[in-house]
Chains A and B, each alone.
Chain A
């Protein structure tokens, strides 16, 4: 290939240059069959980046103190130089919005374009979870609706009242997700119209459930005691929205808003490793291809590699910088290794991955991106080579034992169990305590009973009491939480707290 002049040599960026780089990168992305939403690249200042940061990356968010707290925290760390801002934020919407910070050099802008606008963007469009659970077209619309609705409630019922509900919802945010049903998307206007309808209908239903006026002929109460809910419910926010006896309809709507937003982020929480790994793999591949074609200068490449390596740096377990496994590193390593196995398979790969070894790498990679989430992705694709490269080992901490056991390391006998353990670590079901609504005393004191099923005998954390207070606020009547292990009751929590002696008796 003939030697070409690089696109730019200076580190200053201009809008024309951004456009040129975007064009070049998008051409290459097309060659690699990256299918993306249209891109909307927004250049913003660092203050605006902090704003975007503070609202969890949502371009429009309702007002809440916790975002203010987040903002103050970021502002402080940033102004003291403890923390660099992320180079980019990308929003799963169509068009896909990516923020570039004006302080960055041209190299960084190109890196971000490759990473966010083609990496993340194609992931949002391709991965099955995002396809099934979020609707990129309507999310911005919904956020606008949510913001306006909550602002209206604040006007009508006071900031404090609204804040209380939102606080309680945030405490249970992770328990507001439908795991098996797909919500269908609608637009802002529709949302508003439906909201009105819902309001009336919901209240009627709730009233029905709590009807105390006796029905004509008297039935024998004990004979057919209605069990409610008939099945345990894991979506707590949904359950409260539909069934809590004392909530006003606007409160129900707020619960719904928080629930919807939680649902929107659910795929993101489940695909962190894949998503970041995929984006990192592609910025690396796209920019290297660009370099191979002579369009990038050596200086550009040096700066790019410097920042790329710091992104994928994994501090070892005993380093002071260690804070868990770096999702960028893990994801990037796995994707790179899939490509290696396709292109240059070894005997080991043929044994472990007979389906992949020697196949077309691009197709294999796209398949992996589209059809997995972190847990299944690791279980499927974490190869012995990656385990060796990262020197992974598994420890088991059992409170019945004196010492912590190293149960597996990166050797022949350990690969499989490390793979399983690491996958389990990314299983949201294991990461969060399993808590469900089991029964409501409909005809009695209206108390609500939740059940926590322990996994590996792990008890609940110390903020449980506090969360229970929020549950109590939403439900309006007594709340009990039973923590059980293999059907044996281990611990109970009550809100309002019960006198000591009644416990476990």
Chain B
């Protein structure tokens, strides 16, 4: 007789652990592949999974086996042309008689030199942001519509039967029984000694009436003790759970970008990649992330994402306009007590000459004290100009929260990003 069992509903991810073990072991390889992929990828699929290739040689499991050489014989099927005694020239590469008859040779690799596999989006991001940390604490805040967590909060006299705490209930029942019966038990004890004394007397001296009276009194007391209920309603104790709101962390990210004539589409593209990386990173660290896009030439404007990245404007550049706008938006919409503020600014370094000092002043006095972190990237292969120099003084004042880097090429973005958010040991 056979048993037939439907196992389809059982867990199907038995191999997950082993898969993770594998990823763990080849961490370095995967990280390298991920960082290459970040440089290569288009912006839209920055957060997809990735195909990872590892050289088969690196992951092979060595076994002892025969090498080439010596005298090896092998039986092959499908003879179509040979008779015994024929000589065949040895095929180049020595593939001919090797393997000593081991059907499917050592690896299932089918001659591939790369072991290729897929990692998921989640894993991709894990690897991408590994050992990066958001600098400078996280503000947590109760905002009206939080989630709640229930925690134990002692015991209560009221509750549902499902929450009865048996130990507590029985303990209090026990205490009640002791309390309610102690005087009676004391009386019983007294009466019993009296009864004993009475019974020890000589037969002539015994008073049968007294004995009877004592016995019946003891009996009635015992009955009264018996009538004390073993468990009463008010003995029952219930586990009490209380709800606590869970504070949420929220972050707002300001993306500031120069869209003046000097910024080409390629430069903007690089800026965008940087912003997206930052956005993904913030998303992983905060439950709620908002993004404010501010673009500027001579004047600044808050725009939506589409416009931010794709519309073109021309004209001169006044960077401070964007900083003013950021400051205003910040004080209007994002109270500092609730929000973690991050700023990211991208520019090619061009600015109206007198404006750069205004910028650094604005940053130092108004913006830097309010933000968690501010990063500035300059996308230019050229020499730095006034803006960079002014910002360097900001960086000196706020060495913890202000960071600036230069990007020349698309492939710089990820390394620069990593450098900016490198986990620092305090």
Which residues of A are in contact with B by a Cβ distance under 8 Å?
A: 15, 18-19, 22, 26, 38-45, 47-48, 50-52, 54-55, 63-73, 75-76, 95, 102, 117, 159, 163, 167, 170-175, 314-319, 322-325, 327, 390-400, 402-411, 413-414, 418, 421-422, 424-426, 430-433, 435, 454-464, 466-467, 470
Contacts and interface: CB of A to CB of B under 8 A. Distances in A.
11 contacts: A19-B2, A44-B10, A48-B10, A51-B15, A65-B18, A71-B18, A71-B22, A317-B76, A324-B101, A459-B68, A463-B65
B19 A432 contact: no
B23 A397 contact: no
Given A19-B4, A404-B96, 8 more contacts: A15-B4, A38-B2, A40-B2, A68-B23, A395-B97, A433-B64, A455-B70, A463-B63
B88 interface: yes
Interface in B57-87: 59-80, 82-87
Interface stretch (B111-119, B202-210, B381-389): B111-119
B101 A425 contact: yes
A44 B6 CA distance: 7
Interface of B: 1-8, 10, 12-15, 17-25, 59-80, 82-90, 96-104, 108, 115-118
B90 to A, nearest CB: 6
B97 A397 contact: yes
Q: Is the interface of A mostly helix, strand, loop or mixed?
A: mixed
A51 B63 contact: no
A72 B104 CA distance: 19
Contacts of A42: 4-7
Nearest to A456: B71
Contacts of A435: 64
A383 B60 CA distance: 39
A411 B84 contact: yes
Contacts of A73: 108, 115, 117
Given A72-B22, A324-B104, A460-B64, A393 B75 contact: yes
Nearest to B12: A47
Contact of B66 (A64, A72, A117, A460): A460
Contacts of A455: 70
Given A39-B2, A397-B97, A421 B70 contact: no
A425 B74 contact: yes
Contact of A324 (B14, B64, B103, B116): B103
Given A391-B78, A425-B74, A324 B69 contact: no
Contacts of A413: 84
Contact of B2 (A22, A421, A466): A22
A397 B73 contact: yes
Nearest to A175: B64
Contacts of B6: 15, 42-43
A65 B90 contact: no
Contact of B75 (A71, A173, A392): A392
Contacts of A397: 71-74, 90, 96-98
A414 B73 CA distance: 14
Given A73-B115, A464-B64, A102 B8 contact: yes
A433 to B, nearest CB: 5
A463 B62 contact: yes
A76 B4 contact: no
A15 B5 CA distance: 9
Contacts of B4: 15, 18-19, 22, 41-43
Contacts of B78: 314-319, 322, 390-391
Nearest to A71: B15
Given A390-B78, A392-B79, A425-B101, A43 B70 contact: no
Contact of A69 (B1, B22, B67): B22
A68 B118 CA distance: 12
Given A117-B2, A318-B78, A64 B12 contact: no
Nearest to A411: B84
Given A50-B15, A409-B84, A432 B75 contact: no
Contacts of A402: 87, 89-90
A40 B165 CA distance: 45
A18 B64 CA distance: 44
Given A397-B96, A430-B100, A431-B102, A51 B13 contact: yes
A118 to B, nearest CB: 10
A484 to B, nearest CB: 13
B327 to A, nearest CB: 50
A25 B104 CA distance: 33
Nearest to A450: B64
Given A51-B13, A76-B116, A425 B75 contact: yes
Contacts of A398: 70-72
A175 B20 CA distance: 28
Contacts of A19: 2, 4
Contacts of A461: 64-67
Nearest to B104: A323
Nearest to A324: B103
A461 B69 CA distance: 10
B22 A68 contact: yes
B29 to A, nearest CB: 12
Q: Which of B19, B64, B72, B76 has the most A CB atoms < 10 Å from its CB?
A: B64
